[in-house]
């Protein structure tokens, strides 16, 4: 099956590095005829999900591609698609002039859809500033340089991140659980 390498790399930005949650140490590729091919990754603090534009015809798949395999992929302007094939429990990812062999990560990827808010209330929140930089990396991989990301704030609930109307995907970021005071211009700046 053809997969979009840029979407795979973009989703990998949110992969967990925590060894005890090994099933989050890769990008989950979910494919079925209804939803097509979806790439999703989360570390519990942020989530990235992208859908490939091509339709998918074939057996339903749910495979976690290890992050060390994805990290070894070097993007360039000529790489868009790769071929993912399976032989028993062994998988092959071919892209450009390279072939990478791996076994998928065992375990069940969480039901990520339940972490995606249906609507956002617009209330302010506090976030880890490192995550803003990570979303900038996603925009760069998706060749969205020069454009901004959109954040739909949601108070103490998860907030949605958008990368532009032409990107079939989104991010979710969890806020710090702390009391947020409304920011006002300080007297000394008036």
10 Å CB burial of residue 72 (0-12, 13-18, 19+) is exposed
Residue 67 is encoded by which pair of tokens?
Answer: 């992050």
pLDDT of residue 104: 86
Using the predicted structure, report yes or no on whether residue 90 has a pLDDT greater than 80. Answer: yes
pLDDT in tens, 157-171: 999 999 988 899 999
Q: What mean pLDDT, rounded, does the chain reach?
A: 89
Domains by residue range for the chain, with CATH: 2-173 (3.10.150.10)
**Mean pLDDT on 131-151:** 85
Give the C-alpha separation, 107 to 21, whole Å.
Answer: 10
Would you call 127 helix, strand, or coil by DSSP? coil
Would you state the pLDDT for residue 147? 66
Q: Please report the pLDDT score of residue 106 as a whole number.
A: 86
In terms of DSSP H, where are the helices of the chain? 5-11, 67-71, 129-141
Give the global pTM.
Answer: 0.90
Distance CA 92, CA 119 (A): 39
Cα(175)–Cα(121) distance, integer angstroms: 14
Q: Kindly state the average pLDDT of the residues 172-177.
A: 89
Q: How many residues belong to the chain?
A: 190
Partners of residue 29 on adjacent β-strands: 39, 63
């Amino acid at each position: 099956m053809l997969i979009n390498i840029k979407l795979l790399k973009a989703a990998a930005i949110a992969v967990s590095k925590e060894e005890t949650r090994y099933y989050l140490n890769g990008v989950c590729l979910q494919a079925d005829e209804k939803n097509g091919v979806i790439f999703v990754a989360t570390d519990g603090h942020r989530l990235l999900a992208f859908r490939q534009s091509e339709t998918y015809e074939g057996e339903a798949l749910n495979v976690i591609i290890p992050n060390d395999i994805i990290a070894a992929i070097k993007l360039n302007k000529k790489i868009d698609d790769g071929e993912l094939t399976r032989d028993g429990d062994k998988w092959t990812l071919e892209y450009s002039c390279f072939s990478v062999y791996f076994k998928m990560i065992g375990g069940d990827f969480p039901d990520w859809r339940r972490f995606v808010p249906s609507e956002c209330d617009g209330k302010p929140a506090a976030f880890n500033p490192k995550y803003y930089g990570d979303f900038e990396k996603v925009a760069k991989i998706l060749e969205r340089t020069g454009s901004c990301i959109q954040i739909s704030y949601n108070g103490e609930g998860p907030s949605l991140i958008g990368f532009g109307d032409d990107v079939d995907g989104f991010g979710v970021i969890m806020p710090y659980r702390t009391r947020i005071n409304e920011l006002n211009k300080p007297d000394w700046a008036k």
